[in-house]
Chain A
């Protein structure tokens, strides 16, 4: 797997979005939370510096959009990493230990597969407050099952390889083998699935924000911006279109990149 495997257009676009999310709030004279009474609902105009116009509280839309992007990406990354950590640990352990342990661990995964997690996440966030940290832990705890399965599959095939035998003969303990030999070899597939989990998580977070959970005002995530925009769609379509387009682009790029990476790792032609 190399740099050449990445789809050019999507990678560049994603990089641009991430850079913008980091830099625009720093460079812009406007912040995302101060209302401006005289600048309510302005359309896009370069003259006063509001590139995308303002929202219904007079705040600059571009800055809010970029902040929203930051929050969404942050949550997505944190949740994905959480699910990754749990999933990889679980999968590697089950695959390597094999036998009854593997059977039990995978049975647990099967059981959890059927638990309707979205309702639980809703209940969690409703009950324990609209906390960003809680949100990504909850989402992460929901998404680790797929990764666990894939990783277990890969581990099963990897553990028959010679370098694992060699390590065992040399006296390495099971945890050490898992950590030092198996995990690094899983890097490719894990990365591929990570890029595919991120868009799912972004959409889950957006869904929760739509229901009113998630990022707290005046902070915004792409999801809450979209929810607000959808509510005012008839009078100010701009407030819906801009975050929706950005979300779609983000998810699209991540999906494309993830697809390519997965194909490359699994040796399939695109």
Chain B
């Protein structure tokens, strides 16, 4: 009996194996299996690095959910593939002389996915809801430029006092606290999307579930599965049907980058959101040119130093550590050219190029000699070395490797003994906020494409200014920049402000992020942009995809 069942079992196993033997699985067949896209429809499969924690645009703060939300909602304006602003729900707009009053004229043919018209009232409702303390949104900090926002967020004023008005169904007037150059970009962010009032009022917290969610973007939700695939299909009520080439999208949450690359190579994905640094040489060999995408991403990785107490209250010490880091070896050799070295905090942006301090051009010997001088000036030597610890978020092997290299550089060049202390992300944040770390890894991705999102970090009162950095000239320059009417003056003032903060070596920049994607050759229309946002409506699949 046993032997016979064994044979039967073995046969069953073999049968499964044989049935699974198909070459290069056809993308639409995979979709069919999953029951999402009917045969013949155009189906895209994208990877995101985690399951979207929420599909409520007011509440979302993470990137994976942002990818999905960029396909589900469209605001007054939207981003084109290159990252520029183009009209969406708003047809036209004007602003007042001083930049504090904006008027938007809305299209009258825009519909929600259940057929209801999209009106200015939907925006007013959504923005009031965003600021209402009962919504508990964590994006409130970013919309403080809206006039009247701060008292509402504090619970001191009713949401109706927000200075945003619907002048009829198709006109919206917005007042700002002061001129905000990146206001149009803010309008593309998920938290300023319109929200369908009736749905929220009918379903409360469950309004984002697959059966209830009403959206106004090119796609709507077909099904979701926690930690599993999120499936979107075309929204038939979207007014720009002709421009949307892809019928269905499946988002797969894969947090392991190696597994994501494997899935891509095995033919299970069309686009990935990242790949492992360590695999880059090998991937470049295996893939066609144009599949592996690296592009400037508006973010910087740096080391933060606690400057309000020893040992890092000593400026020569901070400068010494800064000089002792060989950024070119770090990014060129260790990180294989994936990231760009950073000598300053603000990454490259159209209209703003990062400054390089003078010592960046020195030879290694000169730089290290100067570093040792400063180290000695701070009172340290190889016999009396600096002892400290560097905290970081232990999840990402690339970070670990980088910091191992940095601490090794400090040890070799100066004799400084800095130990690595990995912590979980949440513990790190908490300890950082409480000022418990002397030195810590810090990465900042810009919230909007303007240098201020980085320069703001070290202003008095900023939630990220853990060391309580305070420089009068810095503050004055930034205030001036905000008040200046044209971009060129503003950028110059920003540059001057940045020069101050870089010289003080409060944050030691290491490298600028690059966005990393793998994109199959049959996916067309992909363009890399600085904020790394590309909605699926901009993409097309070439004929005979997957064949």
Contact = CB atoms under 8 A, between A and B. Distances in A.
Q: Which applies to chain A's interface (DSSP): helix, strand, loop or mixed?
A: loop
B378 interface: no
A48 interface: no
B274 to A, nearest CB: 13
Contacts of B412: 34
Q: Which residue of A37, A230, A233 has the most chain B CB atoms within 10 A of its CB atom?
A: A37
A86 interface: no
Given A126-B424, A212-B394, A33 B408 contact: yes
A259 interface: no
B401 A56 contact: yes
A234 B258 contact: yes
Interface stretch (B7-15, B49-57, B278-286, B337-345): B278-286
Contacts of A231: 256-258, 276, 278, 397
Contacts of A56: 278, 401
Interface string A26-38: 0000000111010
B315 to A, nearest CB: 28
A216 interface: yes
Contact of A218 (B258, B329, B397, B420): B420
A232 B405 contact: no
A175 interface: no
Contacts of A260: none
Nearest to B399: A217
Interface in B216-271: 256-258, 261-262
A156 interface: no
B448 to A, nearest CB: 33
Interface string B419-436: 011111000000000000
Contacts of A34: 408, 411-412
A34 B413 CA distance: 12
Nearest to A236: B278
Contacts of A35: 334, 404-405, 408
B334 A217 contact: no
Contact of B397 (A130, A228, A236): A228
**Chain B contact patch, size range:** 20 to 34
A217 B282 contact: no
A151 to B, nearest CB: 36
Contacts of B408: 33-35
A174 interface: no
A57 B397 contact: no
B405 A217 contact: no
B456 to A, nearest CB: 32
A129 B428 CA distance: 11
A165 B334 CA distance: 71
Interface string B163-184: 0000000000000000000000
A40 interface: yes
A228 B412 CA distance: 25
A216 B258 contact: no
B444 to A, nearest CB: 23
Q: Which residue of B256, B278, B281, B403 has the most chain A CB atoms within 10 A of its CB atom?
A: B278
B34 to A, nearest CB: 26
B529 interface: no
Q: Which residue of B257, B279, B395 has the most chain A CB atoms within 10 A of its CB atom?
A: B279
Contacts of B139: none
Interface in A186-241: 212, 216-218, 228, 230-236
Contact of B394 (A40, A57, A130, A232): A130
Contacts of B400: 217
Contact of A212 (B261, B395, B401, B403): B395
B333 interface: yes
A232 B404 contact: no
A33 B282 contact: no
A57 B420 contact: no
A217 B279 contact: no
A235 B281 CA distance: 8
A144 B400 CA distance: 34
B404 A217 contact: yes
A178 to B, nearest CB: 43
Q: Which residue of B261, B403, B408 has the most chain A CB atoms within 10 A of its CB atom?
A: B408
Given A126-B424, A212-B394, A233-B258, A218 B404 contact: yes
A40 B329 CA distance: 12
Nearest to B259: A231
Given A217-B400, A234-B261, A235-B282, A37 B276 contact: no
A45 B195 CA distance: 64
Given A35-B334, A37-B334, A57-B405, A216 B420 contact: yes
Interface string A230-262: 111111100000000000000000000000000
B510 to A, nearest CB: 15
B150 to A, nearest CB: 36
B278 A217 contact: no
Interface string A96-131: 000000000000000000000000000000100110
Interface string B318-336: 0000000000010001100
A231 B397 CA distance: 9
A34 B412 CA distance: 9
Contacts of A216: 394, 420-422
A57 B276 contact: no
Contacts of B394: 130, 212, 216-217
Contacts of B421: 216
Contacts of A37: 329, 333-334
Interface in B373-394: 394
Contact of B279 (A40, A129, A232): A232
Given A56-B278, A228-B397, A232-B276, A33 B258 contact: no
Contacts of B401: 56-57
Contacts of A129: 423
5 contacts: A35-B405, A212-B395, A217-B420, A232-B278, A234-B262
Q: Which 10 A-B pairs have the closest CB atoms?
A: A235-B282, A232-B278, A217-B400, A37-B333, A218-B404, A35-B405, A235-B279, A37-B329, A231-B258, A35-B408
Interface of A: 33-35, 37, 40, 56-57, 126, 129-130, 212, 216-218, 228, 230-236
Given A57-B405, A218-B404, 17 more contacts: A34-B408, A34-B412, A35-B404, A35-B405, A37-B329, A37-B333, A57-B401, A126-B424, A216-B394, A217-B394, A228-B397, A231-B256, A231-B257, A232-B279, A234-B261, A234-B262, A236-B278
